[in-house]
Amino acid sequence: MRVVIETEPGEAAGRVAGIVADALRSNPRCVLGLAAGRTMEPVYAKLVESHEREGVSFRDVIAFNLDEYIGAAPSDEWSFQSFTFRHLVEPTDLPRSSLHVPSGAAEDVFEEARRYEETIRNSGGIDLQLLGLGRNGHLGFNEPGSSLGSRTRAKALTEETLRANRDELPSLGDAVPQAAITMGLGTILSARSCLLLATDSTKAAAVAAMVEGPVTSRVPASILQHHPDATVVLDAAAAERLEGRPYYQRAEQLQRQLEERGR
């Protein structure tokens, strides 16, 4: 696991956006896994800037959203589909038809989850998966206790996640969705590369457990320790509980020097 520590949240978001932009330049037909939520907003804003100023194109990209609330219609402003359209599809050249989102409005959400997993597989699998981190260590909506080998499925949300969602979706109040369709931990681990962004001190405990704790279903994000190409990008606040922080900073400095020498 590569741990990148930046000083400010904006620098961390810029680093993530730069990695995505580089991936699109090297592979314009990249299969890109997308995450939603406030943490990702500055990442997508910087990718839009790269599209407008540097010509980074999404025209040939195939994109898969990580998850969607059960009960959300595509037209709902708070749905993850609307989020992705608003922040990435509409301001870039990513074709609407190339964005795949599990249908939260499906009559049979279990069949929808199976269909979505099959669609990912038929697309050749995900090349680069963007990820956020829940305060309780969840990835996507794989809550603590999730099977480490799970595939896309319907998942009930914990009370901690529901509280966080009420803060993020105040217009819904207590009507926030109780469940979601989410890529499973096994699905995420099958991506060729994983790229996680975490900012703010509220994520510091989860970050420390993910990076330095044991691999356990109680901290679903810890499964990234088993991924051969996982990069975790943090701001200083999110990294504050890492015991190995000086080492990670020195290792990253050396990594960048080696990469520069190889160009």
- Residue numbers annotated as active site: 67, 136, 138, 143
**Virtual torsion, Cα 196, 201, 207, 213, nearest 10 deg:** 180
The residues, ordered by sequence, that sit 6+ positions from 109 with a Cβ below 8 Å of its Cβ are 70, 154, 181
Question: Taking a C-beta distance cutoff of 8 angstroms, is the pair 3, 254 a contact?
Answer: no
How do beta strands 193-198 and 99-100 pair? Answer: unpaired
**Virtual torsion, Cα 43, 140, 206, 245, nearest 10 deg:** -40
Which residues are 103's β-sheet partners?
none
CB-count burial class (<10 Å; 0-12, 13-18, 19+) for 174: exposed
